[in-house]
Amino acid sequence: MMTESTISTISDGVERAAGVYAELRRTRPVTRRDLKNYVKVFLGIDVPDKRICPEHQSPMDYLWHTFRESKSEPRATNHDAIVWANRAGGKTELAAVATLLDCLFKPNCQVRILGGSGEQASRMYEYLTGFLCHGYEQFLAGPVRKTKCHFINGSAVEVLTQSAASVRGQHVQKLRCDELELFDEDVFAAAKFTTQSTPEITAGMELISTMHRPYGLMHEVVTSAPKFGTPVFKWCVWEVIEKCVGRNCSQCPLSGDCRGRAKVANGYLKIDDCITQMRRASRACWEAEMLCTRPSRQNVVFGEFDPAVHVQPVDYDPNLPLYRALDFGFVNPFVCLWIQVDDAGTVRVIDEYIRSRATIDVHAVEIKSRTPVAEEKVTATFCDPAGKSVNDVTGTSAVRELRSFGIVVRFKRSGILEGIELIRRAIRSGDGKSSLIVSPRCPRLIEAMECYHYPESANTPGELPQKDGLYDHPIDALRYFFINQTHSSKTTARRY
């Protein structure tokens, strides 16, 4: 039987332990290990911290990047980040963890949550409020409201609606954009101007999503990330799946993709759940949503274009005829492609020139300087028939201007679908053979071949592709080549 002295001693010990626990809750993690342990102890989340695929990162890599503000190291210009991860990969919950940590340990940190839909933004905020209701009430300044909450240290979180009006006028330190793939482009454009650093906090805009489409916003920001130095934190199902123990790989439906990766994993996704999801989904969706290997190409125009097959080093061959194909533009890009056709009928796109906001005289000089033969030795230059139209400002036409620089162009009127079908046939004919090669020197054309798509509402391939001002222009130039070269006997050369 315990004495009063023993009970008192135990009570004092429990009280001291509770005090230590409370003090640790208020203590800012200093190292990566501290941060992982803090989240595990106080939020009950064991953040996966192992890179399984060589080119990927772990969820913990992202959390450490977004949290750290080291005064001992040179200050980063920004804390921007892109998170590309699989469905059920913990993106939204982890971003809510980052939001809580920002507000607790970075006084006067203003955080805004912007989702691809109101439901998506609310989901991150619900994770956050769930954390707050389990031991963090003491840090709050007032009640937790439906779309905002404030902290006693001056930090605050607010959910923004998916509208440009909601975003404009915001000046915050952290903006977390969840499910970027679903964003309205005007809202995303406005959101880029919202973050602002303080002497203590480096501002950051985080773009979080799976990548559903090869032509969506997520594809755009991931592709441009190296140019701007923005880190991309990418993980897939293997970084977040539970460790596989006692299963026979030869009998596992995941084995073709897994190849033993789950044997060394340390995540939380149940293997049986992943097997069920794989069986429910198409292969394209499984690869895009869970493996993060490539977006679904179900809505793209040239779904059979494969860089591994169609992109090969190919140079100018003086023994083959040389063609050029032009698509006119000013705000939208002006495009010139250099093309040859070999004796087997293979179309070889050997170079590209794409530039916006320049006049015809500038383009003409560039085209002639990049053409590997004298102008009179160019077999033909094909163009958009619209180039013959007289410009109201200049009083002349693009065709006439080019002629004044010694570049004679030809054209044939045609429908868009006719040219698309000719390109498709070159990519893969009815007998399964390909007669199209694109040089790696043509990155914009290659990207267009992968991303040129039908409108989101399109249900049949008979509908016209999307005129997006980005991918359609290189494709239009390629169309003009196929239309004119195929009907060379009917091609028109006119004087204006």
DSSP string, 45-78: --------STT---HHHHHHHHH---TTSPPPS-
Distance CA 324, CA 481 (A): 7
CA gap 282, 352 in Å, rounded: 36
108: left (phi over 0), alpha (psi -120 to 50) or beta: left
> pLDDT tens per residue, the chain (496 residues)?
566 666 555 565 556 767 778 899 999 999 999 999 999 999 999 999 999 999 999 999 999 999 997 544 555 678 999 999 999 999 999 999 999 999 999 999 999 999 988 788 899 999 999 999 988 999 999 999 999 999 999 999 999 999 988 898 889 999 999 999 989 989 999 999 999 999 999 999 999 999 988 888 998 899 899 989 999 999 999 999 999 999 999 999 999 999 999 999 999 999 999 999 999 988 878 988 999 987 777 788 998 999 999 999 999 999 999 999 999 998 899 999 999 999 999 999 999 999 999 999 999 999 999 999 999 999 999 998 888 887 755 668 899 999 999 999 999 888 899 999 999 999 999 888 999 999 999 999 999 999 898 887 644 445 789 888 889 999 999 999 999 987 654 444 444 3
pTM: predicted TM-score of the whole model, two decimal places = 0.74
Q: For residue 433, how many C-alpha atoms fall within 13 Å in the half-sphere facing its CB?
A: 6
Query: Rounded to 10 degrees, what is the CA torsion of 251, 253, 254, 260?
Result: 10
The residues with which 437 forms a beta bridge, in sequence order, are: 348
Q: Sketch out the chain's domains with CATH numbers.
A: 27-238 (3.40.50.300), 307-490 (3.30.420.280)
What H or E segment, with its residue span, contains residue 447?
A: helix 443-451
Contact 82, 233 (CB under 8 A): yes
- Coil/strand/helix, residue 322: strand
What distance in Å separates the CA atoms of residue 443 and residue 445, rounded to the nearest whole number?
5
Distance CA 120, CA 97 (A): 16
Q: In angstroms, rounded to a whole number, what is the distance separating the alpha carbons of residues 416 and 431?
A: 24
| 314 secondary structure, DSSP code | -
Distance of alpha carbon 35 from alpha carbon 67, whole angstroms: 9
Q: How far is CA 97 from CA 56, 130, 155, 208, 367, in A?
A: 21, 11, 15, 14, 53
The residue written with tokens 């919202």 in the block is 194
DSSP per-residue codes, 346-388 = -EEEEEEEEESS--HHHHHHHHHHH-SS-GGG--EEE--GGGG
CB-based contact 312:226 (threshold 8 Å): no
Specify the length of the chain in residues: 496
| Per-residue confidence (pLDDT) for residue 460, from 0 to 100 | 46
**C-alpha to C-alpha distance for 218 and 66, rounded to whole angstroms:** 19
Instruction: Name the amino acid, one letter, at 350.
Output: I
User: How many other C-beta atoms are found inside a 10 Å radius of the C-beta of residue 258?
Assistant: 21
The DSSP element (H or E) to which 205 belongs, if any, is strand 204-209
